[in-house]
Amino acid sequence: MKDKKENIDKLDRLLEEVDSKSKEKPTYEKVQEVKKSPKTLIIVLICITIIIITGLSLYIVNRPKKKAVKEETVKLIDLKDLSGLTVEQASSIIGSKKIDIQVDNYVESNDYDENQIVSQLPKAGKVKEGTVVKVIVSKGQAKVKMPKVTGKSLKDATKILKKIGITVNVKKEYDEDIKKGYVIDSSADKGEEINVGGEIDLTVSKGRKKEKENILNSQEAVQTQAANISQEYSRTKNKIKKKNKTKKKSKKKSKPVIINIAD
């Protein structure tokens, strides 16, 4: 009985070995497939490469062509300084150079007369043909209305005028009615438009003339008159002397000539 069991056990072992060997056979085949796989991989890679190259070629052939940019030669022109010119004068100067002038604004200016160009953009220099030059044009000097200064003290009048940009020139004279140091008159009337930065003449009172000054002035007048009379007298005297001399000369020339004739 024991021998039978041993034999049965041996048979079972042999069957297990056979079975295990039969199971290992696929593993061997897999190894063979793995050995063969590099060739397949190379073929796949070649196919992919061919597909990529073909796609790129088709894209290059059929891609939209970019428009060729024409290289144009840009002409540069000399632009002069236009300040001080009118728009018409500036246009006549640069009109033939294919440059346009456009008035951008009007401003008050103490440096440029009305309708003269104050500034420009672009400034003087090289510019492209067809450039639009924007200019600012003068409206003339800024103006203000003349304030009332007559009857005011010179100090107050000067302060008022300087505040609005006016320079004051002072001229003094005697006045019987206006107090000394006060304005008698001005070169512009109240309310008159005057240029900012301009000048105004103020006539300022020296007060009443004193009696001593009147006497001195009258004495000076008498002395001047006396000097004039003296000069006139000396001129007349010299004229008379000259006349007398000419008479004497004429008498000498008219003396009779006596000729003795021998018997």
Q: Which residues of 230-240 are buried (b: 16+ CB within 10 A; e: fewer)?
A: eeeeeeeeeee
In the 8-state DSSP scheme, what is residue 186? E
Inter-residue contact 198 to 166 (CB < 8 Å)? yes
Inter-residue contact 176 to 210 (CB < 8 Å)? no
The verdict on residue 185 lying in a domain is yes
pLDDT in tens, 96-148: 677 889 999 999 888 898 999 999 999 999 998 888 999 999 998 888 999 99
Angle 157-141-102 from CA coordinates, rounded to 5°: 160
Select from 182, 205, 228 the last residue of a domain: 205
Average pLDDT over residues 18-30: 52
> To which H or E segment does residue 170 belong?
strand 167-173
**What domain range is 131 assigned to?**
76-138
Angle 132-135-140 from CA coordinates, rounded to 5°: 160
pLDDT in tens, 122-133: 999 999 888 899
Average pLDDT over residues 10-15: 61
121: closest CA among 99, 136, 139, 138?
136
Which CATH number characterizes residue 197's domain? 3.30.10.20
Angle 168-174-178 from CA coordinates, rounded to 5°: 75
pLDDT in tens, 34-61: 455 666 777 777 888 888 888 777 777 7
pLDDT in tens, 226-256: 787 877 777 777 767 666 666 555 555 555 5
pTM of the full structure = 0.41
Inter-residue contact 139 to 111 (CB < 8 Å)? no
**pLDDT at site 40:** 74
The verdict on residue 156 lying in a domain is yes
**pLDDT at site 138:** 94
Domains identified in the chain, total number:
2
Select from 188, 205, 222 the last residue of a domain: 205
pLDDT in tens, 213-223: 555 566 677 77
